[in-house]
Amino acid sequence: MKLLTCPVNGTRPLSEFVFGGEIRNMPDPAQASDSAWAAYVYNRTGAPGLKKEWWYHSPSGTWFVAERNTLTDQVARTYLYGQEDKA
Amino acid sequence: MPLRLLKYALSRKHPAPRFFRDCTEPKKSYDAVIIGGGGHGLAAAYYLAKDHGITNVAVLEKGYIGGGNTGRNTTIVRSNYLTPEGVNFYDASVKIYEGLSEELDINLFYSTRGHFTLAHTESALRTMRWRAEVNKHVGVDSYVVGPDEISKACPQLDISCSGKAPIVGALYHGPGSIARHDAVAWGYARGADSMGVEIFQNTEVTGLDIQSGKIKGVHTSRGYIATNKVLSAVAGFTPRITNMAGVDTPIVIHPLQACVSEPMKPWLNTILVSGSLHVYVSQSSRGELVMGSSLDPYEVHSTRSSLDFVEGLTSHMLDMFPFLSNVKIVRQWAGMADMTPDFSPIMGTTPVEGFYLDAGWGTWGFKATPISGKTMAATMANDQAPELIKPFRLSRFEDYDLTGEKGAASVGH
């Protein structure tokens, strides 16, 4: 069974978690050009590597950040958003 | 054939027949280079030579031909999609498939079985009606059937699905077929090779040479190759190649798993799919049940398979076929599916001149092998995509002009 560590609830089975995609910075909708906005809406960093991702622990309703290598599927660390320093 | 077999039996050497030359030394330049020796890449090479007379072509394959998603899919060929663009495209593919064994002179075991997409709820049945009407409009043989007709075609199926999710109807698609997938790659490889195309296995592309927005060549593990036309047909490796080209795409990689049971006497004559139970199943010509489920729920660039998958899939299989409880699973595997946000492929030209993309094949690539090869060859020869694949162009995302294809396999609808 694969496991993932929720920063609030500790290590739990992966089946309790939902993947929320890579963390991405939204451009200012008022300033961005149409093509920059379309690129933000659709394009993704598809190549493998260490990525910061949103994950959701569904029984407790906790959203948090996981740093995961998408090639090896190894999670380097997890922490609540904005609490990177404490991780 | 029997005469050739007799001659072979009487010869003293019994030489192993080769399908294509074992190329290891690439020339300095080619008219076109195709990255990826799967069904799509080899088909493109074949049609470049056959339809357009471009034979000075190199196909570069990192592993061995047909060892990627071409050999990892569940071999279903069908055209009962949801959008008219999709139905037209996949129907053109089915039509080529039907005559492909003869054209390539190789037995693809192409077997037309009929294909049922089962509906367990009224809302699923509504989608089936929608698909049936779109299919009929485009001239594809699909219609909605009731539980009695499903039972007649497959008496072994428990229509109530162990009482958990009773089947209320299905979308029936007559042309639905299965084929031997590796033979498709080998047949196209032999055909392309016989017309002069060179196939390099164990040859990895390490970089693309792009100068002022034009492709000039590719760096490979066997040295530099100059060319003005490069096709990327690498499925799950697409983001790595497009990164080299500096082309952004919406493609994300998710593993898609499949498995086979031990062989049995033939009993399942049709292809059955249940979107609600996440099962698709057919019986191969070897007697194995070939089964797939749904995409793994998060991005991984790996072909590892999991016990969770077999556990989930087989529990749903037993809902449909309780008598299979003693049948064993003998093999399981995964492929890297290059998913797009609208479940349609990405085909055609890119912002880099001479760099063509045949990607975004997610869970629907095998059935499109012949037509994607044919249309990508035309795109490379004319530097312009044919009408048939224009709805699948990369720029559709920037134009907010998507081709929403919810008839794709392994996709919840």
Q: Is residue A12 a part of any domain in this protein?
A: yes
**Residue of chain B whose alpha carbon sits nearest to that of A54:** B298
CA distance B111 to chain A (A): 36
Domain that holds residue A70: 1-26+52-87
Report which of B334, B35, B358 is spatially closest to residue B200, judged by C-alpha positions.
Answer: B35
CA distance B345 to chain A (A): 14
Q: What is the percentage of chain B residues whose pLDDT exceeds 70?
A: 98
Whether the per-residue pLDDT at A59 is higher than 60: the answer is yes
CA distance A38 to chain B (A): 5
Residues A73, B398: C-beta atoms closer than 8 Å: no
Q: What is the DSSP string of B153-205?
A: H-TTS-TTTTTTS---EEEEETT-EE--HHHHHHHHHHHHHHTT-EEESS--E
Residues B300, A47: C-beta atoms closer than 8 Å: no
Mutation site, A22, A23, A42, A75, interface B, largest B CB count within 10 A = A42
Q: How confident is the model at residue B412 (pLDDT cuts 50, 70, 90)?
A: very low
Q: Is residue A46 a part of any domain in this protein?
A: no
Select from A43, A71, A72 the Cβ nearest to the Cβ of B249. A43
d(CA B225, CA B94): 35
Q: Is residue A47 a part of any domain in this protein?
A: no
pLDDT in tens, A42-55: 999 999 999 999 99
Which conformational region is residue B86 in: left (phi greater than 0), alpha (psi within -120 to 50 degrees), or beta?
A: alpha
Q: Is residue A35 a part of any domain in this protein?
A: no
CB B109 within 8 A of CB B304: no
CA distance A40 to chain B (A): 10
Cα separation values, A35 from A23, A32, B212, B390, Å: 20, 8, 21, 20
**Residue of chain B whose alpha carbon sits nearest to that of A74:** B300
Mutation site, A14, A44, A54, interface B, largest B CB count within 10 A = A44
Q: What is the percentage of chain B residues whose pLDDT exceeds 90?
A: 92
pLDDT value, residue B408: 66
pLDDT in tens, B180-205: 999 999 999 999 999 999 999 999 99
Whether the per-residue pLDDT at B239 is higher than 50: the answer is yes
**Residue of chain B whose alpha carbon sits nearest to that of A73:** B300
Q: Is residue A36 a part of any domain in this protein?
A: no
pLDDT value, residue B411: 54
**Is residue A22 helix, strand or coil?**
strand
Q: How confident is the model at residue B15 (pLDDT cuts 50, 70, 90)?
A: confident
- Residues 6+ positions from B133 with CB-CB distance below 8 Å: none
CB B338 within 8 A of CB B235: yes
d(CA B88, CA B84): 6
CB B240 within 8 A of CB B45: no
- For the domain B111-176+252-337, what is the CATH superfamily, name and number? D-Amino Acid Oxidase, subunit A, domain 2 (3.30.9.10)
Query: B213 exposed, middle or buried (CB, 10 Å; 0-12, 13-18, 19+)?
Result: exposed
Select from A1, A15, A39 the Cβ nearest to the Cβ of B248. A39
CA distance B406 to chain A (A): 17
pLDDT in tens, B255-314: 999 999 999 999 999 999 998 999 999 999 999 999 999 999 999 999 999 999 999 999
d(CA B344, CA B86): 8
Report which of B21, B162, B131, B83 is spatially closest to residue B342, judged by C-alpha positions.
Answer: B83
Q: What is the DSSP string of B25-75?
A: S--SB-SEEEE--SHHHHHHHHHHHHHH----EEEE-SS-TT-SGGGTS--
* Chain A residues with a Cβ under 8 Å from any Cβ in chain B: 1-2, 15, 18-19, 34-35, 38-39, 41-48, 70-73
Q: What is the CATH number of the domain that holds A67?
A: 3.30.2270.10
More confident residue, B1 or A73: A73
CA B223 to chain centre: 30
CB B83 within 8 A of CB B405: yes
**Tokens 């929608």 belong to which residue?**
B130
pLDDT in tens, B315-368: 999 999 999 999 999 999 999 999 999 999 999 999 999 999 999 999 999 999
**Which residues of chain A does B397 touch, with a Cβ-Cβ cutoff of 8 Å?**
38, 41-43
Q: Is residue A34 a part of any domain in this protein?
A: no
Both structure tokens of B361 = 């094949």
Instruction: State the pairing for strand pair A50-57/A17-22.
Output: antiparallel
DSSP state of B212: T
**Which residues of chain A does B253 touch, with a Cβ-Cβ cutoff of 8 Å?**
46, 48, 70
pLDDT in tens, B80-129: 999 999 999 999 999 999 999 999 999 999 999 999 999 999 999 999 99
Cβ of B148: how many Cβ atoms within 10 Å?
9
Cα separation values, B250 from A16, A76, A78, B228, B353, Å: 27, 25, 26, 25, 20
CB B32 within 8 A of CB B231: yes
**Residue of chain B whose alpha carbon sits nearest to that of A44:** B250
Report which of B111, B126, B113, B112 is spatially closest to residue B171, judged by C-alpha positions.
Answer: B126
**Which residues of chain B does A1 touch, with a Cβ-Cβ cutoff of 8 Å?**
308
CB B38 within 8 A of CB B62: no
Which conformational region is residue B361 in: left (phi greater than 0), alpha (psi within -120 to 50 degrees), or beta?
A: alpha
Q: Is residue A9 a part of any domain in this protein?
A: yes
Q: Across the strands, what pairs with B224? A: B219
Both structure tokens of B352 = 């880099």
How many independent structural domains does chain A possess?
Answer: 1
Residues B302, A71: C-beta atoms closer than 8 Å: yes
Name the average pLDDT for chain B. 95
d(CA B345, CA B181): 19
d(CA B396, CA B402): 6
Q: What is the percentage of chain A residues whose pLDDT exceeds 70?
A: 99
- Residues 6+ positions from B113 with CB-CB distance below 8 Å: B176, B177, B178, B269, B270, B271, B282
Whether the per-residue pLDDT at A25 is higher than 60: the answer is yes
Query: A43 exposed, middle or buried (CB, 10 Å; 0-12, 13-18, 19+)?
Result: middle
pLDDT value, residue B410: 55
The pTM of this model reads 0.94
Cβ of B13: how many Cβ atoms within 10 Å?
6
| ipTM of predicted complex | 0.94
Residues B299, A19: C-beta atoms closer than 8 Å: yes
d(CA B206, CA B209): 10
Q: Is residue A62 a part of any domain in this protein?
A: yes
Q: Domain map of chain B by residue range?
A: 111-176+252-337
pLDDT in tens, B375-397: 999 999 999 999 999 999 999 99
Select from A35, A42, A72 the Cβ nearest to the Cβ of B250. A42
The residue type found at B333 is: W
